[in-house]
Amino acid sequence: MKTYIIKCGKLYDGKTDVLQDKMEILVEDNRIKEVDKHVAAPAGAEVIDLSDATVTPGLIDAHVHFSFGDWRTRSHDAIYEAPIYKGMYALYNAKKSMLRGFTTIRHCGCNCDDGYSVVVAKRLLNDGHFVGSRIVQAPHYVSTTRGHGDFSQLIMTNPKLSTYIWENYPGFGSGPDMFREVVRRQVKYGADFIKMFASGGFNSEADGPEDYTFTDEEMQAIIEVSHQMHMKVASHTYSPELAYKQIGMGIDDIEHGALFNDPKLLDLMKQKGVHFVPTFTPYESVIKLDEDNLRKQTPGMQRKLRKYQEWLMDARKVIVNSDIPLGYGTDFVAVHNPYEGGWEYNSMLTSGVDPFRALAAATRVNADILSMPNDIGAIAPGYYADIAAWKRDLLTDPHALLDCYFVMKDGVVYKTEQDI
Ligand SMILES: [Zn+2]
Amino acid making up residue 244: Y
At residue 154 the predicted structure's pLDDT band, cuts being 50, 70 and 90, is: confident
- CATH at residue 194: 3.20.20.140
Does any domain span residue 370?
no
* C-alpha 3 to ligand 1 mean position (Å): 38
3-state secondary structure string, 293-348?
HHCCCCHHHHHHHHHCHHHHHHHHHHHHHCCCCCCCCCCECCCCCCCCCCHHHHHH
Is the domain of 285 the same as that of 404?
no
Does any domain span residue 171?
yes
- CATH at residue 396: 2.30.40.10
Is the domain of 68 the same as that of 42?
no
**Residue 356: exposure state from Cβ atoms within 10 A (0-12, 13-18, ≥19):** middle
* C-alpha 108 to ligand 1 mean position (Å): 6
Does any domain span residue 334?
yes
Is the domain of 74 the same as that of 223?
yes
Q: What phi and psi, each to the nearest 5 degrees, are found at residue 326?
A: -90, 135
Domain final position from 321, 341, 361 = 341
Give me the mean pLDDT over the 92-105 stretch.
Answer: 97
* C-alpha 11 to ligand 1 mean position (Å): 31
Cβ contact 13:379 at 8 Å: yes
Is the domain of 21 the same as that of 97?
no
At residue 114 the predicted structure's pLDDT band, cuts being 50, 70 and 90, is: low
Q: Which run of H or E residues covers position 243?
A: helix 240-249
CA distance 332 to 135: 15
* C-alpha 197 to ligand 1 mean position (Å): 9
* C-alpha 246 to ligand 1 mean position (Å): 18
Is the domain of 47 the same as that of 188?
no
Is the domain of 253 the same as that of 166?
yes
pLDDT of res. 149: 86
Distance, C-alpha 344 to centroid of its chain: 10
At residue 327 the predicted structure's pLDDT band, cuts being 50, 70 and 90, is: very high
Is the domain of 134 the same as that of 250?
yes
Note down the domain range covering 209: 59-341
* C-alpha 153 to ligand 1 mean position (Å): 17
* C-alpha 64 to ligand 1 mean position (Å): 6
- As a residue count, the chain comes to 420
Amino acid making up residue 38: H
CA distance 125 to 91: 8
CA distance 254 to 115: 24
Q: What phi and psi, each to the nearest 5 degrees, are found at residue 141?
A: -65, 140
* C-alpha 201 to ligand 1 mean position (Å): 10
pLDDT of res. 402: 96
* C-alpha 258 to ligand 1 mean position (Å): 12
Residues 6+ apart with CB under 8 A from 320: 351, 352, 353
Does any domain span residue 419?
no
Is the domain of 242 the same as that of 384?
no
Residue 216 has pLDDT above 90, yes or no: yes
Is the domain of 384 the same as that of 335?
no
Amino acid making up residue 226: S
CA distance 189 to 116: 7
Does any domain span residue 352?
no
CA distance 321 to 161: 47
Does any domain span residue 227?
yes
Residue 420 has pLDDT above 70, yes or no: no
- Domain count of the fold of the chain: 2
* C-alpha 331 to ligand 1 mean position (Å): 5
Does any domain span residue 224?
yes
CA distance 14 to 374: 12
pTM of the model: 0.96
Task: Give residue-wise pLDDT tens across range 48-92.
Answer: 999 999 999 999 999 999 988 888 888 888 888 888 888 899 999
* C-alpha 219 to ligand 1 mean position (Å): 18
Is the domain of 23 the same as that of 65?
no
Is the domain of 222 the same as that of 337?
yes
Domain final position from 323, 341, 359 = 341
Task: Give residue-wise pLDDT tens across range 356-385.
Answer: 999 999 999 999 999 999 999 999 999 999
Rounded alpha-carbon distances, angstroms, from residue 97 to 333, 338, 341? 13, 8, 7
Is the domain of 158 the same as that of 187?
yes
* C-alpha 2 to ligand 1 mean position (Å): 38
Rounded alpha-carbon distances, angstroms, from residue 36 to 5, 55, 133? 11, 14, 27
